[in-house]
Amino acid sequence: MLSSHAAALASLPSSLPFLRPSPTLRLSTSLLSSLASTSSVDPSPPVRSKYGGIQLEETVEVGSEKSRLDAWIASRMHDVSRSRIVASIRSGLVTVNGRAVDKVSYKVKGGDVVSCTVSELQPLRAEAEDIPLDIVYEDEHLIVVNKPPHMVVHPAPGNPNGTLVNAILHHCKVSTFTWRTKSANLLEEGVDSSDEEIEVFHVDEFPTGGNGSRVGEALVRPGIVHRLDKGTSGLLVVAKDEHAHAHLAEQFKLHTIKRVYVSLTIGVPKGHTARVEVPIGRDPNNRLRMIATPSSSNRYARHAASRYKVIEVLAGGACALVEWRLETGRTHQIRAHAKYIGVPLLGDEVYGGTKNMVTSLLRAKNPSHFHDNTFETITKLDRPCLHALSLGFNHPHTGEFLQFSRPPPDDFCQILDFLESITESASDN
């Protein structure tokens, strides 16, 4: 049962007339004008990416200790993932003193001249899968989906199936697609990119209707406009045609998309409301994590701003229900900003919101008769308690402002109810 506070958040104004169930729709027929005349589909060539082809030629500093080749190159090319560097080495694109080296553990020493050309990305492919979708709104141009926790938004190396994209391909009756993204360096290392705009999807094959004859190769551009982390639940908009994608992407770029998130934090943020404006970049000590840090200390960090509002203080101040509004869309923005201000999200093991931390705090701040239930409830946590509660945007074709909201899923609400029961018990005493 949703708590009164969460229910109030979920009742944000929404475009109720547009919440009707929708039939399954094919991708806009206007997209099919780009169909090729041939019926065969050639293997996709490597994708020219943001970092593909970048070259490094540098001499190892004399007197420095020996270092692994991949580690040394990574220390010089901060925006390129370690897996891309490893792939470049193994592809013969790295030389040391003019000789090709394909062993990533090769030790470089002072005076060595290292030359590296970053390898191009290979396109990712995925097939349609019959996966249930919670569709909040759909028309011929876009879909708004309520993503469950633990569902990955798009395919990535090592995670090609069971994603939102696989489900949408089936829903839209598209068989396969080839996917390209500028942010593939993050995806290769398993970093979910929350709300950061991505490149479009290029659909390669369409099934036919009618007489059953095969339609040739197509190059069309529907796709995901923004992303949610694997563990984050909530609302996400998907474009079904190029015009919709371009216009929605522009709204994200201009920060006119209205996004509201709700989270459970360990501890209570200072002040009832505040704005966090701290750049976010890759954590140099952990490439799977981002870090909020002053720009002077990380030249690769990007501007990031979030606003938060404490909705309810829970369990004697051990936790809080917090609303977040994003001004920018950086990878792991809320999670990184929450950690920066000292209140990591409950269940966010990557950013310090560990089960041990919240269990210790709950036991320290609340009566002993809650301790057993505390351990039992918290051990069930398997994701950060973060939910994309509300999403509003101008329809890319009609210009009408649409706003949708969905309450948090059961796992979030169960934790919230437990924390509120501790709060209410303390107030009764």
Which residues form the catalytic set? Answer: 229
Overall residue count recorded for the chain in this entry: 429
Residue pointed to by tokens 């926790």: 149
Task: Report yes or no: 374 and 359 within 8 Å, Cβ to Cβ.
Answer: yes
| 249-257, long-range: CB < 8 A, 24+ apart | 249/197, 249/225, 251/393, 251/394, 252/197, 252/225, 252/226, 252/329, 253/197, 255/327, 255/328, 255/329, 256/393, 256/394, 257/226, 257/391, 257/392, 257/393
- As a 3-state breakdown, the chain gives helix, strand, coil percent values, each rounded to 5, of 25, 25, 45
Terminal Cα distance for the chain, rounded: 24
Cβ neighbours around 99 below 10 Å, total: 7
The three-class DSSP label of residue 243 is helix
Residue pointed to by tokens 């036919």: 208
* Helix orientation angle between 371-378 and 355-365, rounded to the nearest 10 degrees: 160
CA distance 331 to 191: 8
Full DSSP string of 245-285: HHHHHHHHHTT-SEEEEEEEEES--SSSEEEEE--EEEETT
